[in-house]
């Protein structure tokens, strides 16, 4: 078996343009009758990438460069139209593409932990056993049995973060979720990330925070207009990215 | 599957969470609905209230379940975008969760109907023991049709009004509100009813509850075939379109 956790050979993802009108039967029939191909734009264009076990990969790029699309492809949320993504099936992949995925506003914090925890692969019995620890990490002791819709945005994010980081992943995919809660809570989260990284967890971080990526990652890739522009040592890639202000032109 | 089950349970819990009567509504709602209908339609059909109530409820309760599953499933995948765009979740989870919720409510409706029928029906026969089995073809057909509608709606939002009209058409042409014995055998209406799959599905409930008979072989055959075909089509449609669903959410 390959030592790589992910192998992406020439992967392309295209999104349809004018999606609002394109969702009608009328639009589709008209396009079909006129023989017009539906307009698309590139999310990823022929991106080739491998991520080795234990590697800490950072992804940078301007807004709309394809960073989140790449992460969704790795998380198997998006199936690319071209290129077959190979993922090591033995690894537990935990995607943190957004905090609080699976949370229902009317459910209490504890109920949400059970529901969202199952999405992260945690059995209910384990969540029950770990609930006190999760609540302690999130520092929301008095509010865990209240509907999360009544929580402040900081409390909501802290609970979501505490739950997500209680999972023991083999592979962690993080999309710009750092920046929640207060400074002290952030310190706790970063310490948890450090511990995971030190334990050899393969990680892919998408962020606009170059300093964070340089500190955390062993490798950096730069995306622009869905293309992979540069792939290499973090300091080198970060310098090139800053020098060109994130814009790459052939 | 674990998420689907827990999500369905949470939806059931949330449905009555902030109401004063809570879970009692699960019984009260079908009781009030069926009570009002039986009074109104007994005058239209010129049957005794009690007699017509038994006839009406026997097929109306499974029909309401079918309708609820199909309508609920139709936008379920699209409504599940909060998860399907963030985690590698199965698109089956959302139609299945709606199906589980509707099935639980069907159970409550059934209990409500049993309560009414105990009061109004004079003669009971042993044939009612077949009812749990009669519910199976309804449940499977509803899930299959629901999955098909959920897939179609994801790609074409125009599907919802079409589904509503189709459900209405199916309801008014099936022998649910009216007794099929009204039409003489050989008449155009009787011949049309013979081709209506809901005639056979309805018979699975009407015969044991109203007529005191076992459902016939034809009833079981057509109903089971409808269930298998609908489920196969539903599963295939979701599986076939799964790689493309993300782009239409």
pLDDT of residue A1: 45
- The DSSP-derived string for A208-245 is S-HHHHHHH-SEEEEEETTEEEEEE-HHHHHHHHHHTT
| Minimum CA–CA partner of B152 in chain A | A25
Looking at residue B227, what is its pLDDT?
97
Contact list, B7 vs chain A (CB under 8 Å): 115
pLDDT of A17 reads: 75
Helices B217-245 and B197-206: angle between axes, nearest 10 degrees: 120
What tokens were used for B174? 């099936």
Q: Which spans in A57-167 are helix H? A: 67-74, 109-119, 124-138, 153-164
| Complex prediction ipTM | 0.83
For β-strands A219-224 and A56-60, DSSP reports them as parallel
Average pLDDT value for chain A? 86
> B243 to chain A: which residues are within 8 Å by CB?
79
Measured between CA atoms, how close is B2 to chain A, in angstroms? 7
Whole-number pLDDT of residue A97: 85
Q: How far, in Å, are A115, B24, B65, B106, B160 from residue B29 at the CA level?
A: 28, 9, 13, 11, 25
Cα separation, B244 vs B154, in Å, equals 10
pLDDT in tens, B113-128: 887 777 777 777 888 8
| Residues of chain A numbered 57-76 and touching chain B (CB < 8 Å) | 72, 75-76
Inter-chain residue contact B246 with A101, CB threshold 8 Å: no
- Inter-chain residue contact B3 with A106, CB threshold 8 Å: no
**pLDDT higher at A15 or B67:** B67
Contact (CB<8Å) A115/B83: no
pLDDT digits (tens, 9 = 90+) for A87-135: 988 888 888 888 788 888 889 988 999 898 888 888 888 888 888 888 8
Beta bridge partners of A204: A57, A173
Q: Which of chain B's residues have a Cβ under 8 Å away from the Cβ of A75? A: 87-88
- B22 CB neighbour count, 10 Å cutoff: 11
Kindly report the nearest CA distance between residue B19 and chain A, in angstroms.
13
* Interatomic CA distance for residues B4 and B10, integer angstroms: 10
Bridge partner residues of A223 (DSSP) = A228
pLDDT for A50: 94
Residue B134 contacts residue B215 (beta carbons within 8 Å): yes
| Exposure letters B40-74 (e unless 16+ CB within 10 A, then b) | ebbeebebeebbbbbbbbbbbbbbbbbbbbbbbbb
Distance from C-alpha of B123 to C-alpha of A38, rounded to nearest angstrom = 64
Task: Name the closest residue on chain B to residue A23, using Cα atoms.
Answer: B156
Share of chain A above pLDDT 70, in %: 93
Instruction: Name the minimum distance, in Å, from the CA of A84 to any CA of chain B.
Output: 12
CA distance A229 to A226: 9
Does A95 contact B at CB distance below 8 Å? yes
Q: Mind telling me how many Å the CA of B9 is from chain A's nearest CA? A: 10
C-alpha atoms less than 13 angstroms from C-alpha of B86 in its C-beta half-sphere: 18
pTM: 0.86
Q: CB-based burial of residue B161 (10 Å sphere; 0-12 exposed, 13-18 middle, 19+ buried)?
A: exposed
Residue B150: the pLDDT is 97
Spatial distance between the Cα atoms of A38 and A16, rounded to a whole number of angstroms: 7
3-class secondary-structure state, position B158: coil
Provide the pLDDT confidence category of residue A19 given band limits of 50, 70 and 90: low
Cα B51 → chain centroid = 23
Q: Do A124 and B88 touch (CB under 8 A)?
A: no
pLDDT at B8 over 70: yes
- B28, B21 in Cβ contact below 8 A? yes
> CB-CB: which of B2, B88, B156 is closest to A118?
B2
Q: How confident is the model at residue A27 (pLDDT cuts 50, 70, 90)?
A: confident
Q: Which residues have CB under 8 Å from A180's CB, separation 6+?
A: A99, A154, A157, A158, A160, A161, A186, A189
Query: Rounded to an integer, what distance in angstroms lies between the CA atom of residue B133 and that of residue B138?
Result: 10
Chain B contact present for A118, CB below 8 A = yes
Calpha distance A206→A204 (Å, rounded): 7
How far apart are the C-alpha atoms of B123 and B143, rounded to whole Å? 34
Structure tokens at A206: 């998408």
Token pair 């765009």 is found at B85
Contact A118 B3 (CB under 8 A): yes
Angle between helices B131-155 and B217-245 (to 10 degrees): 30
Contact between A14 and A42 (Cβ < 8 Å): yes
Task: Please give the DSSP secondary-structure letter assigned to residue A123.
Answer: -
pLDDT at position A28 over 80: no
Answer yes or no: is pLDDT of A249 > 80. no
Predicted pLDDT at B185: 83
- Comparing alpha-carbon positions, the chain B residue that sits nearest to A119 is B3
pLDDT band at A55 (very low <50, low <70, confident <90, very high): very high
Confidence class of residue A179 from pLDDT cuts 50, 70 and 90? low
Please state the rounded mean pLDDT for residues B177-202.
87
Collect all residues of chain B within an 8 Å Cβ-Cβ radius of residue A98: 86
In whole angstroms, give the CA distance from residue A141 to residue A136: 7
Task: Please state the rounded mean pLDDT for residues B67-96.
Answer: 94
Distance of alpha carbon B103 from alpha carbon B97, whole angstroms: 10
**CB-closest option in B2, B158, B246 to A78:** B246
The pair of three-digit structure tokens given for residue B236, joined into one six-digit string: 């295939």
Is the CB of A77 inside 8 Å of chain B's CB atoms? Answer: yes
Shortest alpha-carbon distance between residue B1 and chain A (Å): 10
Mean pLDDT of B42-58: 74
> H-helix or E-strand containing B18?
none
Min CA distance, A105 vs chain B (Å)? 10
Verify whether the Cβ–Cβ distance B248 to A106 is below 8 Å: no
Numbered residues of chain B with Cβ closer than 8 Å to any chain A Cβ: 2-3, 6-7, 10, 13-14, 17-18, 82-89, 155-159, 242-244, 246-248
Per-residue model confidence (pLDDT) at position A250: 60
pLDDT at residue A151, as a whole number = 82
| Contact between chains at A72 and B85 (C-beta distance less than 8 A) | yes
Selected for mutation to probe chain A from B88, B90, B91, B159 (highest A CB count within 10 Å) is B88
Q: Answer whether residue B63 shows pLDDT above 90.
A: yes
**What is the Cα–Cα distance from B200 to B215, expressed in whole angstroms?**
9
pLDDT of residue B20: 84
Cβ–Cβ below 8 Å for B10 and A115: yes
Tell me the backbone φ, ψ of residue A49, rounded to 5 degrees. -160, 140
Phi, psi torsion values for B61, nearest 5 degrees: -65, -50
Tokens read off for A138: 């999130």
* Residue A127: both structure tokens together: 């969540």
Say whether pLDDT at A164 is over 90.
no
- Neighbouring CB atoms inside 10 A of B168's CB total 11
pLDDT at B142 over 50: yes
Q: CA-nearest residue of chain A to B16?
A: A106
pLDDT averaged over chain B?
89
A123–B contact, CB cutoff 8 A: yes
Q: What distance in Å separates the CA atoms of residue A117 and residue A101, rounded to the nearest whole number?
A: 10
Which pLDDT belongs to residue B140? 98
Residue among A23, A75, A119 minimizing CB distance to B157? A23
Instruction: Scan for tokens 């975008």, then name that residue.
Output: B81
What pLDDT was estimated at residue A185? 77
**pLDDT at residue B49 in the model:** 67
- Tell me how many degrees the CA angle B36-B42-B46 measures, rounded to the nearest 5: 165
Closest Cα in chain B to A18: B248
* Residues above pLDDT 90, as percent of chain B: 53
């Amino acid at each position: 078996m390959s030592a790589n956790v992910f192998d992406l050979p020439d992967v392309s993802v295209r999104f349809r343009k004018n999606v609002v009108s394109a969702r009608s039967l009328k639009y589709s029939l008209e396009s079909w009758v006129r023989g017009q191909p539906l307009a698309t734009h590139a999310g990823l264009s022929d991106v080739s990438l491998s991520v080795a076990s234990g590697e800490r990969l950072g992804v940078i790029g301007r807004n709309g460069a394809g960073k989140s699309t790449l992460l969704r492809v790795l998380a198997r949320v998006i199936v690319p139209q071209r290129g077959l993504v190979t993922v090591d099936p033995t690894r537990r992949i935990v995607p943190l593409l957004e905090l609080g995925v699976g949370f229902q506003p009317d459910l209490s914090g504890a109920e949400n932990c059970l529901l969202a925890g199952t999405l992260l692969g945690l059995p209910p019995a384990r969540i029950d056993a770990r609930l006190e620890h999760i609540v302690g990490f999130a520092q929301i002791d008095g509010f865990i049995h209240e509907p999360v819709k009544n929580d402040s945005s900081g409390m909501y994010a802290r609970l979501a973060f505490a739950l997500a980081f209680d999972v023991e992943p083999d592979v962690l995919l993080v999309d710009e979720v750092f920046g929640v809660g207060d400074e002290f809570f952030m310190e706790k989260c970063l310490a948890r990330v450090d511990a995971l990284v030190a334990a050899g967890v393969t990680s892919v971080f998408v962020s606009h925070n170059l300093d964070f990526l340089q500190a955390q990652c062993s490798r950096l890739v730069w995306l622009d207009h869905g293309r992979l522009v540069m792939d290499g040592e973090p300091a080198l890639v970060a310098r090139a990215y800053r020098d060109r202000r994130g814009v790459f032109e052939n | 599957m674990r998420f689907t089950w827990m999500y369905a349970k949470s939806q059931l819990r949330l449905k009555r969470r902030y109401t004063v009567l809570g879970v009692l509504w699960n019984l009260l709602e079908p009781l009030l609905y069926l009570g009002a209908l039986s009074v109104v339609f007994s005058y239209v059909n010129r049957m005794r209230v009690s007699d017509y109530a038994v006839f009406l409820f026997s097929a109306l309760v499974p029909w309401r379940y079918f309708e609820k599953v199909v309508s609920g499933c139709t936008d379920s995948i699209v409504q599940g975008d909060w998860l399907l765009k963030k985690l590698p979740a199965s698109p089956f989870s959302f139609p299945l969760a709606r199906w589980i919720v509707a099935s639980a409510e069907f159970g409550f409706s059934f209990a409500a109907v049993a309560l009414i029928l105990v009061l109004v029906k004079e003669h009971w026969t042993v044939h009612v023991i077949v009812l749990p089995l009669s519910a199976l073809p309804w449940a499977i057909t509803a899930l299959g049709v629901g999955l098909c509608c959920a897939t179609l709606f994801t790609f074409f939002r125009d599907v919802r009004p079409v589904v509503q009209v189709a459900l209405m058409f199916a309801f008014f042409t099936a022998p649910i509100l009216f007794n099929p014995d009204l039409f003489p055998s050989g008449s155009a209406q009787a011949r049309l009813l013979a081709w209506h799959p809901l005639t056979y599905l309805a018979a699975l409930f009407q015969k044991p509850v109203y007529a005191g008979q076992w459902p016939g072989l034809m009833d079981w055959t057509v109903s089971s075939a409808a269930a298998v075909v609908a489920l196969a089509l539903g599963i295939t449609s979701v599986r076939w379109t799964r790689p493309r669903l993300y782009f239409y959410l």
